[in-house]
Structure 1
Amino acid sequence: MDVPLPLRDIHQPDAPSLWPLAPGWWMLIVAVALVALLLYVWQRRRQRRRRDIARVFDQALEAAATPAAEVAAMSELLRRAARRHDRQADRLQGEPWLEFLDRGSKRSDFVDGPGRLLLDGGYRREADAAQVAALRELARQRFLRWMGAR
């Protein structure tokens, strides 16, 4: 009664196909796409915010009729931006104000450079256009940095 059983080779199952993807891969693809979309939206908002902050500065200076009015507008904008860093900053006058503007910078452009025009440039009848142009670039950079646009 011993009937020999026929022996057959062991057959391995077929390898799983690459398509359709397993659910884990779909979740990974969706997660990566979502992160990419969020980064894109965040970057666009950041760029728009930078552009809007720069526009505020530029429009305030365009509205100024004279170079002295430009200096006064720059002073006002810088004082408003300074309040974001120190609540008492807008109350500073004279040299302490210029030193505050130079704080965090390697150069002393406000104490020793074109920034000195902020002390009395807004009160002059006439201000030198070249000095105002130099101050404009300096004040714009500081304003954008304090407002978080740089």
Structure 2
Amino acid sequence: MTTVNPLTNLKDIHLPPAISWWPPAPGWWILAVLFILISVFIVCWLLRSYQRRRPRIEALQLLKDLKSQYKNSHSALSTLRALSQLLRRTALSLSKHEEVASMQGLEWLQFLDKTGQTTEFTRGVGNIFGEDLFRSEPDFDLEVLFPLVGKWVKKCPYQS
């Protein structure tokens, strides 16, 4: 009797096909969608943050330009009026238009004090931005007003 070797009847093992990289598993799809959503959210947040800071940045640059113009020309009265315009324009761009546009005198100074978290406008050197601004020869020191306006621009809160 001949014994047959049982191993001769075995066939090779068939390997499954290689796992393809496309299409990805559902978990990867979810991760990709989350990544896109988070990226869009971050970009929108950064743009909005920049748009909110832009008036403040531009106002500080204008203040710097006014200071250098004053040092070159020594035109105190025109620089004082330009500082007043800068305060008004910055307040209009950072606050609600209807409440700021009509303010004048003591009401305007109180608004500047409240938003700048100071009392320098009603009780200090910033009082010049009230009614005294329109005198022909007001008494003021611009070297003290530049830092005051700069501090106000930095502290004035953004209100939508």
Category of TM-score, reference length = shorter chain? 0.5 to 0.7
Q: Corresponding residue for 1:53?
A: 55
Q: CA deviation at 1:21?
A: 5.5
Q: Corresponding residue for 1:89?
A: 100
Q: Corresponding residue for 2:9?
A: none
| More displaced stretch, 103-112 vs 133-142 | 103-112
In structure 1, the gaps of 5 or more residues are 1-18
Q: CA deviation at 1:33?
A: 0.8
- Pair 1:112 & 2:114 matched: no
Larger radius of gyration: 2
Q: CA deviation at 1:22?
A: 2.8
Amino acid aligned to 1:49:
Q
Q: Corresponding residue for 1:13?
A: none
Q: 1:60 to 1:69 in 2, by over 3 A?
A: farther
Structure 1 CA distance for aligned equivalents of residues 101 and 153 of structure 2? 17
Structure 2 CA distance for aligned equivalents of residues 77 and 147 of structure 1? 18
Q: Corresponding residue for 1:8?
A: none
Q: CA deviation at 1:108?
A: 2.6
Answer whether contact 2:55 2:90 (CA < 8 A) is retained: no
Q: 1:100 to 1:28 in 2, by over 3 A?
A: same
Answer whether contact 1:67 1:129 (CA < 8 A) is retained: yes
In structure 2, the gaps of 5 or more residues are 1-20
Structure 1 CA distance for aligned equivalents of residues 115 and 31 of structure 2? 44
Structure 2 CA distance for aligned equivalents of residues 103 and 146 of structure 1? 13
Q: Corresponding residue for 1:132?
A: 145
Structure 2 CA distance for aligned equivalents of residues 103 and 40 of structure 1? 32
Q: How many residues align?
A: 129
- Pair 1:22 & 2:25 matched: yes
**Identical-residue share of aligned pairs (%):** 24
Superposed CA RMSD in Å reads 3.5
Moved over 6 A (4+): none
TM-score (norm 1): 0.60
> Which of the two has greater helix per residue?
2
Structure 2 CA distance for aligned equivalents of residues 86 and 50 of structure 1? 15
Amino acid aligned to 1:100:
F
Answer whether contact 2:87 2:149 (CA < 8 A) is retained: no
Q: CA deviation at 1:113?
A: 3.2
TM-score (norm 2): 0.57
Structure 1 CA distance for aligned equivalents of residues 36 and 84 of structure 2? 43
Deviations 1:50-103, CA, capped at 9 Å, x for gaps:
553234213433155445434323322332344442515322221111112233
| Structure number with higher relative contact order (C-alpha < 8 Å, ≥ 6 residues apart) | 1
Q: Corresponding residue for 1:76?
A: 85
